[in-house]
Structures are given as structure tokens and as C-alpha cells.
Amino acid sequence: MEFRPPVTLVGRVVELRPLSREHAPALLEAARSPEIWAHMLVGDLRDPDRMRAAIEELLSAQGAGTDLPFTVVEARTGLPLGMTRFLGIDRRHRRVEIGGTWYERSRWRTAVNTESKLLLLRHAFETEGCHRVEFKTDLLNGRSQRAIERLGARREGLFREHLVRPDGSFRSSVCYGILADEWPAVRARLARALERPSTAAPAVPD
């Protein structure tokens, strides 16, 4: 396992490009809906200073080797639609988490999330040789839980009062996982979803 930047993942609907400071203005446009930020640990990024600070923090984590962040870009237009990343990269134990995902509100329940997850999971399992990929989400975020379950990930447990939300309250996190031997079935499931005329796969915010 390497997960060394730069990494670009290309699909038919979206491209996952290395996160860049230059993406900040376009990401601010994509971030305008308050609904996006209801359960995000990073807080509300509709403020330019907060968006820039979040990007700097992610690039710092990339430099430390723990994260690999992406800007989600519409393949047809090159328009930034949101962000996602690999985090908690554990090279020794061959595992990684996918999270920090958000999209422009108008792209919820479209193929954007389905293909983004397919690209990330394929890279993790087929390029990096991961044994395990994890997802964690807020216990209060039922929409996110349903979206992760649609991917084919297994619900494994609950981390009680696991993290601190931006408002200072404690978040309990639901944990999901996909193992390497489960990946072929998940890959086929996602491929079938992308073949349908309309892919009803909501975004998976952190």
C-alpha cells in the first residue's frame, strides 16, 4: 500500500482530482446549501476563510501521509462538485477509511456518489491492495447510513460518543466495512447501479 500523491481517478461521470488550493473558489460555489453541512465534522465551509483553512488542513494531512484528499469534478465540464478523501491510511494493516465526502446539493441522488465510491474502492482494493475499507458516519445521520448500506458495506458496530461535533456535542459513530473478498460483489453492485438510467445513490457525508 502506498497512497502517494498525486492520484487522479477518472470515470465517465466524475473525475477525482488531487485537492488543490486553486479549487477553493469553485468549491465555495458548490458548498452553498446549508443542508450539506448538517452532519459534517469539518463544520460549515460556506465561509471563504473556513474553506481555505479546511483545504490547508487536508493538504497538511496529505503531507503527513495519513490522508489523500480529492476534489470531485464533473467529467464533462470540469466543474468542481465537492470533496472526498482516503483517511486513516494504515499501511501496516492494509486498511483505509473513505470519508469527508460532500457534494453540491443538486447532485445528491445522482450517479456522482455511486461512481465516486466505485473509483475510490477500486483504487483501494485493486491498485493499493487494501484488505479492508471502512466508513464511519454520525448515528443521527440516517441518510448517510442508508447510502453506505446501498454500497454493500456491512454495518459492524457503534463507537459511542466517539468524536466531538462542531457544536461541542459528542457524536456516536456507526462503523461499516468492506473486506477484500467482498469487493467483487460490491463492485458488481455498483456497476449495475451505474448502468441504470437514474442512479438513486445519495451522497455519503462524514
Helix (H) / strand (E) containing 181: none
Report pLDDT for 197. Answer: 62
Report pLDDT for 199. Answer: 42
9-195: which CATH topology? Aminopeptidase (3.40.630)
Q: What is the mean pLDDT of each run of 10 residues along the chain (206 residues)?
A: 96 97 98 96 96 98 98 96 98 98 94 96 98 98 93 97 96 98 97 74 42
Cell numbers describing residue 86: 482516503
Could you tell me if residue 53 is left (phi over 0), alpha (psi between -120 and 50 degrees) or otherwise beta?
Answer: alpha
* E runs forming strands in 19-153: 68-74, 80-90, 95-103, 132-138
Query: Cα(99)–Cα(134) distance, rounded to whole angstroms?
Result: 9
Cell numbers describing residue 104: 453540491
Nearest to 151 by CA among 203, 114, 122: 114
Report pLDDT for 201. Answer: 42
Domain ranges of the chain: 9-195
Dihedral angle computed from the Cα positions of residues 39, 42, 47 and 53, in that order, rounded to the nearest 10 degrees: -170
